[in-house]
Structure 1
Amino acid sequence: MAGLYVHIPFCESRCVYCGFYSTILSALRGRYVEAMCKEMELRKDECPEPMETVYLGGGTPSVLSGPELDSLFLYINKVFLKGGDTRSLEITMECNPDDICKAGFRLPPMVNRVSMGAQTFADERLRFLRRRHTSGQVGTAVRRLRDMGIGNISVDLMFGFPQETLADLNHNLDEILRLGVEHISAYSLMYEEGTPLYRMREQGKIEDIDEELSLRMYDTLILRLEEAGFEQYEISNFARPGFRSRHNSSYWSRVPYVGIGAAAHSFNGRDIRSWNVADIRQYVASIEKGECPSEAETLDEDTQYDDLITTSMRMREGLDIRALKPKYKEYLLKRSKRFLDSRLLQLDGHRLHLTRAGLYISDSIMSELMW
């Protein structure tokens, strides 16, 4: 099976932490949507496998108008889904809570999963992040989505804000659990180079949270969500039984996917990665001339091994070492020994995975396992 990712780079405002490609050039929306539809036609034969998941990400897909979304889904259905029955597919759209709360907001009929950025339930921190919504709108948005028939809702939560306490985190967890959603993605606040947040820290305007406190927050997060019936199936992702993100899981399982839109990435599931230009004007101009503005690279065996480490080891099930060629299997088991001895890694049959203790230093462990 395969996945389709459609990148909507438009935002009404930029959040201080965002390192993804996005723009506030809303005047280009119409031409951009037309260009994405044309790109789908240009790449219709690129992925021979049936699409199992569709994901509209951004940016902010929910800023698109109803007719713009209808056009996109018309082409998604015609080009990649072949007009078939979509009820068994996972079709996700990222939305901002305040967009959902607007009068007249509607979702395209094919969408059956919504991913929504709550981030925090402290209004002062939402203002600090330059988020457009208020904490109260998150609950209103969830209720509206339920009324629309959406039975699969994911909410993003951030922790590790400057001056945040464990009590603050527990309040956020109380609020997010009260929503009754099916999926939670929880991330420590990251200082991506080039973002306003990064510059604030470099200028001494804010201080990063203490590392020990950050680890205690992560531990609290895991324990409370597990107690509430969520499984931690990936380092930052928690789901009620049966509600794992099938689309994101395909990334971590090296399933092929096609990326449509400016800055979107694609992968053939084996050895070729490609990406579109991260410039909306250049993207639109190229597509209008019938050209795909993309670059590609062929991955050698060593890079494929490294990619396998950095994707599969994020998952609860870890890596099936039987998938490795003998030289990589021997290398991995040798590099893993000290982590196995210290119980940071565990080998269950043929599967090597992080333990609970290993989750806290997962990046350094994966770095040591790479070729």
Structure 2
Amino acid sequence: MAGLYIHIPFCKQACHYCDFHFSTSLKKKSELVNALCKEMVLRKEEIRGPLQTIYFGGGTPSLLDAEDLQQIFKTIDDHFEVVEAPEITLEANPDDLTEAKLIMLAASRINRLSIGVQSFFEEDLKLMNRAHNATEALRCLQLAKQYFDNISIDLIYGMPDMSDARWQENLDQALALGIPHISSYALTVEPNTALQKFIEKGVVKPVDDAVAQRHFEILLAKMEQAGFENYEFSNFGKPGYFSQNNTAYWTGKPYLGIGPSAHSFDGNTRSWNINNNPKYIKAIAADSLPIERETLSTTDKYNEYVMTGLRTIWGVSLEKIEKDFGLKFRTYVLQQAQKHIEEHLLFLDDDRIVVTKKGKFLSDGLASDLFILNLS
């Protein structure tokens, strides 16, 4: 089984915290869609096995119209094998999700929406420079539930001046709407973003890690109480609503990334496309793939497995480490994990090393402690 990721590099406006690749000009949207379809044809042999997931990410995929989606799905059907009931997700912004848009999407092959709500509070949305307002955030979800069962929303915590009470209200609102999947992220300050500049100038208060950790603990408690499972550090799902796309990514399954800046992984190599729309379109038109590739070493694969595994409920399998990397790696990871097990940040569950509730907020740091630079 494999996944297909399609990057739609357009947005109405730039969010202050975002460092993803996108353009605010839609002039080349038609050319870009043509290029996406052609890249799929050029790279169809790179993916083995049927597609289990198709994911439209961005950018803002909800800027696509019915004709765009029809063209993309026809290309997929003509050149790829797809399982009988694939998970097909489209990321969407609340301001795009009018009833007419939702009817169009529901009539397409899309069967899962991931909606970038981020917050139900006006002051948060203005600070982030989101294109929607709080009223649109609420209304779009009420409408979306009429046409889609499988809905995920994004929420951001750790915002400057976001009180614990306001964060709890955000979660309460999402739960009251009956949304079955929530992806929640701490606000991070990425280099060269507007948010970084505002903080440096004193226009916006710095992000406080202690606040983010407190909000994460509130998140864990609220989600657990509401019957959600924290199957990956940032992802919470009701039973039957885990994202198959997210799960495949965190468990190391192969995926093909199409579009400017999109990444791919086949188990042995990673590759990524150029993050420039005009150069991408020009290269694809000339039957050239604007891609860089990296072959992963055994150490790279081990480190990536540890990093992704510790973020999930499935943890890191000692049996898999020994089978894929050798006994030395198994011995090493157990030695490195021991002090964290004694501190109740990690625990052994049969043959798996899993992060405890106490250690969850520290999972990336714990993983780095289990990394190796070289093991001969």
Which TM bucket (shorter chain)? Answer: over 0.9
1:110 is aligned to: 109
Q: Number of aligned pairs? A: 366
Query: For the residues of structure 2 that align with 1:267 and 1:104, how far apart are their CA atoms?
Result: 32
1:312 is aligned to: 309
Query: For the residues of structure 1 that align with 2:101 and 2:207, how far apart are their CA atoms?
Result: 41
Write the mapping of 1:100-249 to structure 2, written as runs, cut at 5 A: 100-101=97-98, 103-105=100-102, 106-107=104-105, 109-148=108-147, 150-249=148-247
Query: For the residues of structure 2 that align with 1:23 and 1:317, how far apart are their CA atoms?
Result: 37
Give structure 2 stretches of 5+ with no counterpart: none
Write the mapping of 1:1-371 to structure 2, written as runs, cut at 5 A: 1-81=1-81, 85=84, 88-101=85-98, 103-105=100-102, 106-107=104-105, 109-148=108-147, 150-269=148-267, 271-324=268-321, 325-371=326-372
Which is further off, 208-217 or 66-75?
Answer: 208-217
Return the offset for 1:124.
1.8
What SS class does the counterpart of residue 179 from structure 2 fall into? coil
Percentage of pairs with the same residue: 38
8 Å contact from structure 2 (residues 120, 134) kept in 1: yes
Return the offset for 1:174.
1.3
Query: For the residues of structure 2 that align with 1:41 and 1:360, how far apart are their CA atoms?
Result: 41
Give structure 1 stretches of 5+ with no counterpart: none
What SS class does the counterpart of residue 117 from structure 1 fall into? strand
Question: How big is each residue's C-alpha offset from its partner over 1:338-361, in whole Å with a ceiling of 9 and x where there is no partner?
Answer: 001111001111111100111121
Question: How big is each residue's C-alpha offset from its partner over 1:236-264, in whole Å with a ceiling of 9 and x where there is no partner?
Answer: 11000011111011111110000000111
Which is further off, 3-12 or 121-130?
Answer: 121-130
Query: For the residues of structure 2 that align with 1:147 and 1:213, how far apart are their CA atoms?
Result: 36
Question: How big is each residue's C-alpha offset from its partner over 1:198-225, in whole Å with a ceiling of 9 and x where there is no partner?
Answer: 1111222222243333222111111011
Counterpart amino acid of residue 170 in structure 1? Q
What SS class does the counterpart of residue 157 from structure 1 fall into? strand
| Normalised TM-score (structure 1) | 0.96
Query: For the residues of structure 1 that align with 2:287 and 2:211, how far apart are their CA atoms?
Result: 52
Query: For the residues of structure 1 that align with 2:270 and 2:249, how far apart are their CA atoms?
Result: 12
Query: For the residues of structure 1 that align with 2:101 and 2:114, how far apart are their CA atoms?
Result: 19
Structure 1 255/104 Cα, relative in aligned 2: closer, same or farther at 3 Å? closer
Counterpart amino acid of residue 216 in structure 1? R
| Normalised TM-score (structure 2) | 0.94
Return the offset for 1:316.
1.1
Structure 1 143/77 Cα, relative in aligned 2: closer, same or farther at 3 Å? farther
Counterpart amino acid of residue 2 in structure 2? A
8 Å contact from structure 2 (residues 99, 143) kept in 1: no
Query: For the residues of structure 2 that align with 1:296 and 1:166, how far apart are their CA atoms?
Result: 44
Question: How big is each residue's C-alpha offset from its partner over 1:273-294, in whole Å with a ceiling of 9 and x where there is no partner?
Answer: 1111111111100000111110
Q: CA RMSD in A?
A: 1.3
Runs of 4+ in 1 over 6 A off after TM superposition: none
Query: For the residues of structure 1 that align with 2:293 and 2:37, how far apart are their CA atoms?
Result: 21
Counterpart amino acid of residue 167 in structure 1? A
What SS class does the counterpart of residue 110 from structure 1 fall into? coil
Query: For the residues of structure 2 that align with 1:194 and 1:110, how far apart are their CA atoms?
Result: 37
